[in-house]
Structure 1
Amino acid sequence: MANLDLNGELAFRLGRAAVVVLTEHGERRPHIVVGRDTRGNGEFLEAALVAGICSAGGDAVTVGVCTTPGIAFLTTDLGAQAGAVISASHNPAEYNGIKFFGSSGYKLPDEVEQEIESVVDRDAGPRPTGPAVGRVSNAPDAEARYLAHLVSVADGRLDGMRVVVDCANGAAFDASPRLLRSLGAEVLPLNDSPDGWNINAGCGATHPDVVARAVVEAGADAGVAHDGDADRALFADHLGNVVDGDQVLAACAVDLKERGELPGDLLVVTVMANLGLRLAMAEAGVQLAETRVGDRYVLEEMRRSGAALGGEQSGHVIFLRHATTGDGLLTSVQFLTLASRKGVSLADLGAAMKKFPQVLLNVTVRDRDGLAEERSVWQAIREAEAALGDQGRVLVRASGTEPLIRVMVEAATEEQAAVQAEALARTVRTALG
């Protein structure tokens, strides 16, 4: 929580440590791009982080409110040695965090982050004086640079399309409506008045029903919902149906394959990808590579395998030809222009796959590591899989951070999924609870 777990002192030391480590890696007087989302607590954290950077002899380039993928892009576009974004993404306003990117626009490698943490713990590093002290500059054209890039990679225009954009009172409150207008869309912005504390509050990608209702009420063609730092996008069609990340991936993968722009006919997804996506991709001749839950693992596999497209049901979608991270604004451009180019609705694009009902249950246990050896649970899983056949899927996994076993079942109907999920949860609770 900001000012408790992440306070000004820690932000200052993180700024210093980042410069120390970058210097040790051969970057003399590193330039670091710094941006934040719209949280009120981000203002003092930004000041502290910038002070730390300059205290250790680095130069800070401040861009103010900016999306997380915007900072990744600007780090490379401005020729900086690193970028830092102050954001807690989709979380409530009282939380915050600091994330670093390297000069390539990718998240810093784990080993470099560990070096930074070590320097923070030791509070080490130089304290230069005179001209060796770092300086602060700003980049007033930062948003324009970022939006120009997004326009340059658009596959068409949006003339005649009426779009509701739920900005989540976050970092995209100005950029997303401006971007879509520049491509010809009529934009109806929603939750675009941040006050420092209303970010993600009952709106945005964590509440896609809000934009779905607004689309129907406005008679719009489409809706887009971002989260606080705009690294994700979910959609709504003109009928008020939510179009999730799996559906976006399905439609975009098929289109890229048809155009010969899907290397290896490969799409990277997580273990949570809907069965409907899996079946649709098999029918389309698209191969799936599967990772753990988390966009970082999707990105790692994409870079390893040379895939161009990957993402998650939550709306984190990575178009690796155009970005180094999930980018909600880029996703909105790619998905909406796909509909425009093909002359179809978002409902038509969403129908690229049939969504199977999915039931998720969390079971509190004494020891989540005991799952691997618990035979009764694995027998129950096999029985559930046999009962569902090729019209269902079961995933039981331990949480990586909490004493929980997560049970997920997909089936042809909500009732079938619920029955199997509840039975598995009872078995897990009996065996491990």
Structure 2
Amino acid sequence: MARLFGTDGVRGLANRDITAELAVDLAVAAAFVLAERGEFAGHRPRAVLGRDTRVSGQFLSSAVAAGLASAGVDVLDVGVLPTPGVAYLTASTDADIGVVISASHNPMPDNGIKFFSRGGHKLDDAVEVAIEDRLGADWDRPTGAAVGTISPAPGLAEDYVQHVVSAARSFAGTDTPLAGLSIVVDAAHGAASIVGPRALVAAGADVHVMHAEPNGHNINDGVGSTHLDGLSETVVARGADLGVAYDGDADRCLAVDHTGAVVNGDAIMGLLALSMQRSGALYHDTLVATLMSNLGLHRAMQAAGIAIVESGVGDRYVLEAMRDGGFSLGGEQSGHIIVADYATTGDGVLTSLLVGAQVAAGDSLRDQCASIATLPQVLINVAGADRTRVYSDEVVQEAVAAARSALGDSGRVLLRPSGTESLVRVMVEATTAEDAQRHADALADVVRARLTL
């Protein structure tokens, strides 16, 4: 039986895969698993609960709150807030559990549920398995005063804003790290529609806001970090210094420079790594990146004397590698960037502030990223494939080996099942776009022929 949890919580079609009943059951199971592990020892447990702007988040957050309270957990419901905001508040309020209702960059009909443990860290695999195993089990229901409370706490959002602004001030060494900067922000009609622009303004920037009018249905709809054309056009039209774009729950951020050119997560990681190396804040002169990061990033970091530790795909695995090695910076090409001094998970708002601070203090974003060349990369998502046979099908693996042999040291091939969607990702990098496209198309054809259900 397939696992319920993917690389970023439980995710699927809201009210079909992710139902109110499942939300209640997951909340109860999570509460009891954490209790059994001693997380609540000696005190009454408390949870921080937040969501993105999807209309389904309203009934799902109500269901999660009901489940937690029925299990004896007091709930602080912060309402609409980015995922990293919930992670931060879980730590800052000394809560035992954090819960976010969001499907991140997925389209509006989807939704999801992800949990944080004490300190604002995502649950490890063993805890998630234990929660799944606990679903539907009998339990001793608390009664009377032992039942949990549910308290609206929207004011805690300002604590998160103050935190990220303070982090940017510390990073830049000035009270106005974005002073003089003209920046366009695309909020994706998502969870950062209010707090993202507010933080940028508080840090001193002149801000033009796009796509910050959520109505429950327009989150990620042709906007945000997965649709950058509109942001690029607006930056150029307004003569802004740069633009930044969040996804639906603002745990990722991508940027465009003043010419409208896209600056992806690899370039952002490289930019921050070089800055932190100069200031002595890059622990062990090491950056943690996933298998999906471009070979160009590896070459640029090698030239600067910065090592790269590779992790699995997903910011939880980046964070695990960071914690294991004591590293201070990591992230993904998709824009999940973790700066360990200030965050326990990918934080798009924080990333936008740190990138902005770099531009405000120095050269243009384009010039600062010039040393981080990007090799042509082609990513093909093959939908409807059997993800469980990616590594066991001999014909598929022979095709991968042949492509790797043909490219040699001049390129890279990666084939992996998605952790959150029903598809297989084919990624090829090569010296020329033509070679990358040719090998990617050939591999995708093999995957479709062998693995399509």
Instruction: Please report the TM-score for the alignment, with normalisation by the length of structure 1.
Output: 0.92
Contact 1:368–1:404 (CA<8 Å) still a contact in 2? no
Letter of the 1:368 counterpart:
V
1:345 is matched with 364
2:253 and 2:437 map into 1 onto residues whose CA distance is 28
The aligned runs of 1:258-407 (5 Å cut-off) are 258-341=278-361, 343-361=362-380, 367-371=389-393, 376-377=398-399, 380-386=402-408, 389=409, 392-399=410-417, 406-407=425-426
1:147 is matched with 161
Letter of the 1:211 counterpart:
L
Q: Measure how far apart 1:128 and its partner are.
A: 2.2
> Residue 27 of structure 2: which of 10, 15, 19 is its match?
15
Letter of the 1:180 counterpart:
L
Letter of the 2:432 counterpart:
T
> Residue 235 of structure 1: which of 220, 239, 255 is its match?
255
Contact 2:390–2:417 (CA<8 Å) still a contact in 1? yes
Contact 1:32–1:84 (CA<8 Å) still a contact in 2? yes
Q: Which runs of 5+ in 2 are unaligned?
A: 1-12
Q: Does 1:246 align with 2:276?
A: no
Contact 1:247–1:352 (CA<8 Å) still a contact in 2? no
Q: Measure how far apart 1:379 and its partner are.
A: 5.3
What secondary structure sits across from 1:302 in the alignment?
Answer: helix
Q: Does 1:65 align with 2:80?
A: yes
Cα deviation code 1:309-332 (max 9, x no counterpart) = 111110011111110000001111
Q: Measure how far apart 1:397 and its partner are.
A: 2.2
Q: Which runs of 5+ in 1 are unaligned?
A: none
Stretch deviating more after TM superposition (255-264 or 309-318): 255-264
1:2 is matched with 14
Change in 2 beyond 3 A, CA 1:362/1:119 = closer
1:101 is matched with 116
2:350 and 2:243 map into 1 onto residues whose CA distance is 15
Stretch deviating more after TM superposition (374-383 or 44-53): 374-383
User: How big is the alpha-carbon RMSD for the aligned residues of Structure 1 and Structure 2?
Assistant: 2.3
1:375 and 1:59 map into 2 onto residues whose CA distance is 50
Q: Measure how far apart 1:211 and its partner are.
A: 1.0
The aligned runs of 1:417-432 (5 Å cut-off) are 417-424=436-443
Change in 2 beyond 3 A, CA 1:400/1:29 = same
Q: Does 1:222 align with 2:242?
A: yes
Contact 1:362–1:405 (CA<8 Å) still a contact in 2? yes
Letter of the 1:76 counterpart:
A
1:213 is matched with 233
2:32 and 2:80 map into 1 onto residues whose CA distance is 26
Task: Tell me how many residue pairs correspond in the alignment.
Answer: 427
1:92 and 1:414 map into 2 onto residues whose CA distance is 29
1:50 is matched with 65
Q: Does 1:25 align with 2:37?
A: yes
1:45 and 1:428 map into 2 onto residues whose CA distance is 36
Cα deviation code 1:18-59 (max 9, x no counterpart) = 322233233143101111111111111111111111112111
2:146 and 2:392 map into 1 onto residues whose CA distance is 55
What secondary structure sits across from 1:337 in the alignment?
Answer: helix
> Residue 129 of structure 1: which of 143, 148, 154 is its match?
143
1:416 is matched with 435
Change in 2 beyond 3 A, CA 1:162/1:370 = same
1:189 is matched with 209
What secondary structure sits across from 2:293 in the alignment?
Answer: coil
2:128 is matched with 113
1:361 and 1:53 map into 2 onto residues whose CA distance is 40
